[in-house]
Structure 1
């Protein structure tokens, strides 16, 4: 038996990560110059991420789950910020004042944000100022209830997560998710992409982009949708009727909200307010050098369902349709890619 002073033995994650050969070659290395050592892919599962994550995967896999935890899980750019802000406020009795004082990355940290690239390396080189990045060790010390978010599939997370804590999974149609992730790679210096959208789509469909494969994460959650501790929400449903989804989240978390609080929450996530709210818009991080100071490409974008129509050529759309059809074959998962009416289009969200 280990003494109290000894470090607990980590349970090994039964996934082996190897470098994706094509990410060390052209054209990838020219289009993604920051990934000089390429990306790695885990097997089984096929999850693609930065090598720095592979060296720390066991640390996340061995996190201690608390019964009052709330985990927000998404594929990137699928409503992560929107949902984690709403969940944090619901769990904290709509403390808007407290939310304004502490940034969302601190209140609701992202587990895999540390591993998009190597933060310490970039800070040491002076690429951006050292910031308060919440590490896994610090997350372990956070007071309860914790509202945590991540983009990892279930099989890379602690095995007892779903049986112990509440998990909200937000799914967004892949067409709009691709467009938004493209702009994210154009904005964030840790994963800089220099090519055009059409080339990005090719990398994405071939699983040579961070967090891919898309369907590996989404179908992983969809297959567990009957679990009582899992709530699956569609981004498009939030766009159609945000009030109904707030009520679903409230009921799922066993944290009642009044009609007055619902209206305050709805007003809080107006895109014009979010764009100016430095506790959620990552302005501090972008100013520190993590992102490019570009008013035409900000962390808070349009968030419109169907915006892909403004970006995809007919040929590119046909290619993506075939990819979607192939991956959804044999499943009952369906996506809405267009909405006839979107409630108050000034609602963002990513």
Structure 2
């Protein structure tokens, strides 16, 4: 997979885009940028670190878990890690998932997190270590390295798909929008005051971070037959996790007994997974970044939840939006 200069060209939001974006928040946000010919939305400080990401040295045993946010990333990370690590449940429970999977573009949150902890020197000092750029952290990480990213394939390190293995998980965009909204509401410093319907205008108009979602998913879908790519749907995990676990094991060259798979499925059962503190971002509650009384990072895990949140006008608008974006692809999201 090759990167071109065009893939990294940057332009800021227009005045109209920024006004529409900022309208959803009660606090000022820096003007986001669009990156590459698809116009992926990222935070303004992306160009400061993009070259470090693009040129990050890769290893043949690196494993990336990639997705658009709120698409089942955390569930997939735990599944992949356990299968690659011989079902070591005790280790998985003792080491936070965020330590096992450095977040490749975590620096885009650095300014927001430092701002939230600015009045607490002890928290700020801890944050400085946590927020060390992922390429720097990964350079000192022993193999095999596990890497999380919400970047589209075209913005991952150069040569990722030809060197490392990538597990990509996609989810129905309507459910992603609902989950993303509730996720953002749980971060008080974001100042999101928009109703879901108002927020959905941002999402459907590709003004949310990492948008456009369809281009993000289609990039991965086009590479689904690459030997180093495993493309999954969240809806598949939800419907038949056992079958997906076996696909992941085949992809990673692992074999397990029925008893081991049974233990894995129990560990990953949604009720158990939601209570697993090793996969929740509890550190963010300590730093005051996540509402301590609010939802867990692992929310409901429900497919088809969009139906409880959309009115008739939104449904009709969304049908047209999806039809327009699916016209040039054979990609189909599973029915739920």
TM-score by length of 1: 0.87
Paired residues, what number? 327
For CA contacts below 8 A with separation 6 or more, give which structure has more relative contact order.
2
Structure 2 residue matching 1:72: 3-state secondary structure? strand
- The structure 1 residue matched to 2:133, chosen from 126, 132, 135, is 135
Distance in 2 between residues matched to 1:247 and 1:181, nearest whole Å = 29
- Please give the alpha-carbon distance, in whole angstroms, between the structure 1 residues aligned to 2:189 and 2:6: 26
Tell me, in whole angstroms, the C-alpha distance in 1 between the residues paired with 2:267 and 2:28: 37
8 Å contact kept, 2:184–2:190: yes
Q: Is the 8 A contact 2:82 2:89 kept in 1?
A: yes
Which consecutive unaligned segments of at least 5 residues does structure 2 have? none
Counterpart residue number, 1:5: none
1:256 pairs with 2:255: yes
Match of 1:306 in 2: 304
* 1:223 is aligned to 2:216: no
Post-superposition CA distance 1:101-142 (Å, at most 9, x none): 210001012212331452563256238654323522012211
Match of 2:266 in 1: 267
Deviation at 1:182, TM superposition (A): 0.9
Give SS of 1:48's match: strand
Change (3 A) 1:32 1:113: farther
Question: CA offsets per residue over residues 39-87 of structure 1, 9 Å max, x none?
Answer: 1111322110111223211111111111001111111111100011111
- Structure 2 partner of 1:325: 323
Aligned counterpart for 2:88 among listed residues 95, 98, 115:
95
**Superposed displacement of residue 27, structure 1:** 4.5
Cα distance in 2 between the residues matched to 1:121 and 1:284: 14
3-state DSSP of counterpart to 2:64: strand
Measure how far apart 1:12 and its partner are: 7.0
* Structure (1/2) with the larger helix percentage: 2
Residues 168-202 of structure 1 show CA distances to partners (whole Å, capped at 9, x for unaligned) of 11111111111111111111346442201111111
Matches within 5 A, 1:139-218: 139-189=138-188, 191-218=190-217
Shift of 1:166: 0.9
Segments of structure 1 that go 5 or more residues without pairing to the other structure are: 1-10, 339-350
Whether 1:42 aligns to 2:12 is no
The aligned residue for residue 8 of structure 2 is 15
What is the TM-score when the length of structure 2 is the normalising length?
Answer: 0.91
RMSD: 2.1
